[in-house]
Chains A and B, each alone.
Chain A
Amino acid sequence: GQQLNQSPQSMFIQEGEDVSMNCTSSSIFNTWLWYKQEPGEGPVLLIALYKAGELTSNGRLTAQFGITRKDSFLNISASIPSDVGIYFCAGQVAGGTSYGKLTFGQGTILTVHP
């Protein structure tokens, strides 16, 4: 089956620093999604990417859909304490037996020190 490798597994940073995380896949996706999950809650969608090479921003967050369609990147600029949480990438394939199903990365745990 499809595998998603997300890195880093965890990050400990100072408030104000920029953050980068990425996901790589062994196969191609049509859609890349980035979610944030806070403790005891469900994931909340941050950014959705639909085209290879697409670069999309949402406030201090910027995500890119890799040219090869096998990877995606998320950057957070000028981090603040409320950025704390687990960030998940997810790839989606349209068509075939995987229609609509999401494959998730293992998550990046972000800790921000004030």
Chain B
Amino acid sequence: DGGITQSPKYLFRKEGQNVTLSCEQNLNHDAMYWYRQDPGQGLRLIYYSQIVNDFQKGDIAEGYSVSREKKESFPLTVTSAQKNPTAFYLCASSLAAANIQYFGAGTRLSVL
């Protein structure tokens, strides 16, 4: 089955801890994206990657980091510098940068 897999579905972070959210796609898409969703707001772009080994900051990159070592994978690390990490995180991918984006099922991150 082709698609975008995000894991885990739910994640809890302790104070001062870094946590990593996984995003894997088997659609052979070049571009991948991370969004943050808060209640009552649209999706906001954290980071995006148009090609392997390259990524750019989105609108709200502070406190987050990413890597793109493989075409299929685009993990997001929420660092301790992100003071308000509680949100629903969505990963997306597209065939190329200007194409339609398809989304994973999301990871809900909460702070303990």
Contacts and interface: CB of A to CB of B under 8 A. Distances in A.
Interface in A69-114: 88, 92, 94, 99-107
B40 A106 contact: yes
A106 B41 contact: yes
B34 interface: no
B31 A42 contact: no
Contacts of B41: 106-107
B59 interface: yes
B25 interface: no
A106 B31 contact: no
Contact of B97 (A9, A31, A88, A99): A99
B98 A94 contact: yes
Nearest to A10: B40
A99 to B, nearest CB: 5
B48 interface: yes
B98 A88 contact: no
Contact of A102 (B4, B6, B101, B106): B101
Among B4, B42, B94, B104, the most chain A Cβ lie within 10 Å of the Cβ of B42
A100 B31 CA distance: 9
Interface string B20-64: 000000000001000000001111110010100000001100000
A35 B97 CA distance: 18
A95 to B, nearest CB: 8
A40 B31 contact: no
Contact of B104 (A35, A40, A42, A106): A42
A33 interface: yes
Q: Which 9 A-B residue pairings sit nearest by Cβ, starting from the closest?
A: A100-B97, A104-B42, A42-B103, A104-B43, A94-B98, A100-B98, A106-B42, A43-B103, A42-B105
Interface of B: 4, 6, 31, 40-45, 48, 50, 58-59, 90, 92, 94, 96-106, 108
